[in-house]
Structure 1
Amino acid sequence: MERDQKRLQELSEALQKFQDDLQSAIDARQRLESQQAENKAVQKEFNGLDEDADIYRLVGPVLLKQDKSEAKSTVDGRLDFIGKEITRTETRIKDIQQSSEKSRMEMMQLQQKMQLAQGPG
């Protein structure tokens, strides 16, 4: 019985950790989605510019002129990277949810076992 109680405590702590990890992963995905939206807006602006339009990049307190193809390539690269990170984060979220559910089921089964062992009270 004491072993079951200890296991129940371990499962409870594991579930709390899963919840914390899940919240962190969800926050990360939201940040990535925000960055993706910003970069898509920039990409859309680039597509609407004339070929000879000047593009400036903010570096610290200074605006530096940048080649349009280089700027466009940088944004495209960022979008590709962000897309891969979103996919990786979503996989992590699913893994955490599966592990959490497995622990939750084990915890419920253990609680049932302990109630049956106590018998009618």
Structure 2
Amino acid sequence: MASSTGLRELQRDLENKANDLSKLQKDISKNHQIRKKYTIQLGENELVLKELDLLNEDANVYKLIGPVLVKQDMAEANANVKKRIEYISAELKRLDSTVQDLEDKQNSKKETIMKLQQKIQSLQAGKGKA
């Protein structure tokens, strides 16, 4: 009877750990989607910076603010794009470390789940012999 109660507790524990693993996997997926968005933005901003470098110093540069194009100083436009690239790069680094941390936790949960499953199987095998 005691082994039956222990088995039920192990199965409940296994279920909780599986739910935790599922949450971690959702978080990892969400972080990958955000990272993908930032990577695209980084590429776009690097392209804008290359285009700005091709222009003459006296060229007209416009910034889209809502539905209106507003004339902007070339140096200011360059500085804004560089700042945006810095910010996006920092966010990508932060996301990378977050994803790495989540993946480490995920691997740890998987190991714990495997051990629990082995424990349950050995209990069930022992019960089958009795």
**TM-score category of the 2 structures, normalised to the smaller one:** over 0.9
Residue 103 (structure 2) aligned to one of 90, 94, 97 = 97
Q: Distance in 1 between matches of 2:78 and 2:46?
A: 11
Is 1:14 matched up with 2:31? no
Is 1:43 matched up with 2:40? no
Q: Percent identity?
A: 35
Q: Which moved more, 1:28-37 or 1:53-62?
A: 53-62
Residue 67 (structure 2) aligned to one of 61, 64, 79 = 61
Q: Distance in 2 between matches of 1:118 and 1:9?
A: 17
TM-score normalised according to structure 1 size: 0.97
Q: Distance in 2 between matches of 1:55 and 1:40?
A: 16
Aligned match of 2:82: 76
Structure 2 residue ranges without an equivalent (≥5): 1-6
Structure 2 residue matching 1:119: 3-state secondary structure? helix
Q: Distance in 2 between matches of 1:59 and 1:84?
A: 25
Structure 1 residue ranges, 4+ long, deviating more than 3 angstroms after superposition: none
Between Structure 1 and Structure 2, how many residues are aligned? 121
Q: Distance in 1 between matches of 2:123 and 2:67?
A: 70
RMSD of aligned alpha carbons? 0.9
Q: Distance in 2 between matches of 1:94 and 1:7?
A: 25
Q: Distance in 2 between matches of 1:12 and 1:35?
A: 35
AA aligned to 1:28 is I
TM-score normalised according to structure 2 size: 0.90
Aligned match of 1:32: 38
Q: Distance in 1 between matches of 2:68 and 2:93?
A: 35
Structure 2 residue matching 1:33: 3-state secondary structure? helix
- Measured after TM superposition, the shift of residue 61 of structure 1 is 1.4
AA aligned to 1:7 is D
Structure 1 residue ranges without an equivalent (≥5): none
- Measured after TM superposition, the shift of residue 53 of structure 1 is 0.5
AA aligned to 2:34 is A
